[in-house]
Amino acid sequence: MRRCIGGDHDTCSGRGCPGTAMTTATSDVTYLLLADRASPYLLARVRWPDVAQAITKASQDWLDDPGLFDLPYEPSAVKVSFPQAASVAAAWGRQLRPQPDNDAPSFIRRMPANWSDLSHAERRALGIESVGKRRSSAPAVPRLSRLRTARAKIASTTANRRNGNRAELAAADQLMIGVAANGHGGTRGGRAPERRLSAHARVLVRCGDITISAGLVELSEGGMECVLPEARPQLAPGAQLSGPFLLEVQGTSIRICLDVPGRISWERSTSAGVHFRIVLGELPGAQIDGVRRFLAAASSKGAR
């Protein structure tokens, strides 16, 4: 049994935290996620040569599919821990057990499987007709134009920063936040600034076997700032986190999976608790979009 290290609520002290008070699965089963803009839509468990099963949000009954033996070699597939997999399954209304389903129906598919370009029959069998499809790239010119306008506005307020003109500075910051929130930031040349939530949203952050329940203060494609009631040794400055990260708005089905490593860059004690920052590795464009969607959802939920 694993215990959540958040520890400040009953639901996170091993008496009800989803995915933490669970028996650890055997190490020979691999759990994998497929995600659309960082939002998981397929969960698979694979063990050669006898276990190849998957569920989706729309199809919560395990399906035997020999094509899943190819999934570990799919670049977009994310290998996750058992607690992370259990959390995704729980969000879809399914309790994940370590044992495979011996009565799962079988899906006879074309071989080999191509998980980057599934056929209509494969999508229908898995209940994922509307997710995971390739999208055409949006035109770059409007994006760059708005981003340059925002940066020019910020540059023009540099002098005002020294003179204490907070109104102008706030306007520039809000302009960049608006650019990022509408999908027009995050170019290779720089990162959009973090957005500070007006009220701390309660989130669960899962990385491997580590699970923390924290207040989310800031979030961007560059990383996140969280606050805990007290310091945790696993989150000391300089600690390396291998990823992937599964972020959940606590008490909801809102989740994203970020397949990047992380690092604890700093820690600071305040009257509200211990603040710490996780710096994330460089995110692909689709995952950046997922971060923005998650941020909007977390902001709408507010404090928990």
Tell me the per-residue pLDDT of 102-130, one tens digit each, with 9 for 90 and over: 899 998 776 678 888 888 888 988 889 87
* Confidence (pLDDT) at 44: 97
Mean pLDDT of 59-76: 93
What local confidence, expressed as pLDDT, does residue 119 receive? 85
Output 68 or 296, whichever has higher pLDDT: 68
Residue 21's pLDDT band (cuts 50, 70, 90): very low
What mean pLDDT comes out for the span 280-303? Answer: 84
Residue 185: pLDDT over 50: no
Residue type, 258: L
- Strand order of the sheet with strand 63-64? 63-64, 51-56, 39-47, 30-36, 78-80
Give yes or no for residue 45 having a pLDDT over 80. Answer: yes
Bridge partners of 249? 203
Tell me which of 1-5, 91-95, 159-163, 208-212 is least confident: 1-5
Whole-Å CA distances, 230 to 14, 109, 145: 17, 51, 44
Specify the pairing of strand 245-249 against strand 240-241: unpaired
Yes or no: say if 114 and 71 are a contact pair by the CB < 8 Å rule. no
What are 141-177's pLDDT values in tens digits?
344 444 445 445 545 544 444 444 444 434 434 433 3
* pLDDT mean over 65-93: 94
Q: What is the mean pLDDT of residues 29-33?
A: 97
- How large a percentage of the chain has pLDDT more than 90? 45
Q: Comparing 284 with 144, which gets the higher pLDDT?
A: 284
Q: Is the pLDDT reported for residue 11 higher than 80?
A: no
Q: Which residue has the higher pLDDT, 17 or 215?
A: 215
CA distances from 24 to 1, 204, 258 (A): 7, 19, 22
Q: Is the pTM of this model over 0.85?
A: no
Could you confirm whether domain 195-301 is CATH 2.40.10.220?
yes
CA-to-CA distance for 148 and 67, rounded, in angstroms? 46
Mean pLDDT calculated for residue range 183-208? 61
pLDDT at 298 over 90: no
Q: How many CB atoms lie within 10 A of CB 77?
A: 22
Sorted by sequence, the CB contacts under 8 Å of residue 249 that are 6+ apart come out as 201, 202, 203, 255, 294, 297, 298, 301, 304
Residue 24 has a CB neighbour count (10 Å cut-off) of: 13
Percentage of the chain surpassing pLDDT 70? 66
pLDDT at 303: 40
* Tokens at 200, concatenated: 């701390």
The whole-number pLDDT of residue 131 equals 80
d(CA 107, CA 120): 14
Q: What is the model's pLDDT at position 295?
A: 86
Place of tokens 């860059």: 265
All structural domains of the chain with their residue ranges: 10-126, 140-181, 195-301
Average the pLDDT over 198-217 and give the result: 85
* pLDDT for residue 65: 92
Range 176-194 average pLDDT? 42
Sign of CA dihedral 84, 37, 135, 222: negative
The CA distance from 129 to 125, in Å, is 9
79-89: average pLDDT: 95
The predicted-structure confidence for 259-281, as pLDDT tens digits, reads as follows: 999 999 999 999 889 999 999 99
